[in-house]
């Protein structure tokens, strides 16, 4: 059977593509093998030949520091899980912490912060489980990051009034608490973040009040300066020079007074106040 040049090129390109795909799958299998997957798991996913090839490549390559640490962590988790099963079979109480347990501690801590800022993570844990010191200590040392993260980003926690300022100001910073070592550290991070952002909000509100007070004082000064600059001052508005009335009307307008309020305050006709404000805008 003869093949023309076009068919030969097509077959060659197909073979090259298949080799690339096979090489890519072997690399993926090798990566998973280095992360602790077993040969049986790889065989079912990539095929026996590719899994065997990945195993041969692993023997030829030197593991990196990250791969060594990941293997150690995997073995530690497996040993701890087996140890927990043996304790349970022996009749010993093994603390199992659910997402609801983590939520309970967080809500207790945030309620305490709302009442008083001087709250530590240890105090919040003790308050959450007052009748079980072992439970409080165990959940504080928990490293079940998936459940901790699920509790931290739950609706009940994110919408808590004590956490509103922290979350609205820095959601990215809040999510950093999901990457800490244990739940006690995450709880401390949340409490400290709430305290810091509440203080920032208080300072900003105080500065805003000061700025408003300064604006009001400046407006009052301008009114006094206009009154002092008048040729003569009497108790009735009718005896005051017209330009003094204008200055006082415009100053009160700058303070946020409505035309009717200005007319009542200065005892001036409402239409006259509106006329002064209109001419002030035109000028």
pLDDT digit string, tens, across residues 200-220: 777 877 877 777 777 777 777
The reply to whether 34 falls in a domain is: yes
More confident residue, 231 or 56: 56
pLDDT for the residue 1: 46
Q: Domain end: 10, 38, 61, which one?
A: 61
Domain count, the chain: 4
Contact yes or no for 140/125 (Cβ under 8 A): yes
Lowest mean pLDDT among 173-177, 229-233, 250-254, 279-283: 229-233
In a domain, 278, yes or no: yes
Based on the fold, state whether residues 108 and 199 are members of the same structural domain.
Answer: yes
Does any domain span residue 208? no
Predicted local confidence at residue 14, as pLDDT: 53
According to the model, what pLDDT value does residue 238 have?
Answer: 45
The reply to whether 16 falls in a domain is yes
76 and 6 in a single domain? The answer is: no
- Looking at residue 257, its pLDDT comes to 83
Whether residue 190 sits in one domain with residue 136: yes
Q: Does 209 fall in a domain?
A: no
Please tell me whether residues 109 and 182 are part of one structural domain. yes
Q: Residues 83, 71: one domain?
A: yes
pLDDT tens-place string over residues 125-182: 888 888 877 888 888 888 888 888 888 888 888 888 887 777 776 677 777 777 778 8
* Residue 220 domain flag: no
Query: What's the domain range around 87?
Result: 64-94
Could you tell me if 48 and 5 lie in one domain? yes
At 17, is the pLDDT very low, low, confident or very high (cuts 50, 70, 90)? low
Closest CA to 105 of 138, 78, 77: 138
How far is 57 from 215, CA to CA, in rounded Å?
A: 75
Mean pLDDT of 212-239: 59
Query: What stretches of the chain show up as alpha helix (H) in DSSP?
Result: 5-34, 39-46, 48-60, 65-89, 99-115, 121-128, 133-140, 145-152, 155-158, 164-169, 171-175, 183-228, 242-254, 259-266, 270-282
In 3D space, the residue among 280, 205, 203 whose CA is nearest the CA of residue 249 turns out to be 280
Verify that 144 and 119 share a domain, yes or no: yes
d(CA 181, CA 187): 11
Distance CA 86, CA 131 (A): 26
Look-up of token digits 């010191």: 133
Q: How far apart are the first and last CA of the chain?
A: 98
| pLDDT at position 26 | 78
Query: In terms of domains, do 147 and 198 share one?
Result: yes
Is 270 within 8 Å of 259 (Cβ atoms)? yes
* Between 112 and 7, the higher pLDDT residue: 112
């Amino acid at each position: 059977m003869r093949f023309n040049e076009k068919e030969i090129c097509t077959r060659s390109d197909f073979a090259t593509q298949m080799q690339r795909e096979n090489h890519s799958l072997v690399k993926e299998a090798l990566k998973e093998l280095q992360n602790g997957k077993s040969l049986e798991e790889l065989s079912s996913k990539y095929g026996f030949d590719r899994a065997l090839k990945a195993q041969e490549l692993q023997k030829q390559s030197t593991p990196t520091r990250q791969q060594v640490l990941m293997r150690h962590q995997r073995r530690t988790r497996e040993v701890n899980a087996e140890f927990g099963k043996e304790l349970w079979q022996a009749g010993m109480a093994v603390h199992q912490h659910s997402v609801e347990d983590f939520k309970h501690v967080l809500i207790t801590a945030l309620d305490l912060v709302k009442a008083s800022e001087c709250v530590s993570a240890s105090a919040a844990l003790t308050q959450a489980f007052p009748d079980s010191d072992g439970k409080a200590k165990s959940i504080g040392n928990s490293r079940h990051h998936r459940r901790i993260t699920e509790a931290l980003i739950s609706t009940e926690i994110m919408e808590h009034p004590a956490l509103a300022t922290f979350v609205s100001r820095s959601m990215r910073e809040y999510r950093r608490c999901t990457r800490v070592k244990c739940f006690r550290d995450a709880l401390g991070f949340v409490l400290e973040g709430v305290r810091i952002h509440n203080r920032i909000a208080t300072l900003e509100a105080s500065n805003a009040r000061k700025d408003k007070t300064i604006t009001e004082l400046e407006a009052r000064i301008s009114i006094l300066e206009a009154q002092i600059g008048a040729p003569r001052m009497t108790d009735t508005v009718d005896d005051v020079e017209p330009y003094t009335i204008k200055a006082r009307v415009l100053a009160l307008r700058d303070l946020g007074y409505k035309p009717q309020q200005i007319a009542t305050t200065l005892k001036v006709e409402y239409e006259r106040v509106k006329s002064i404000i209109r001419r002030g805008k035109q000028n």
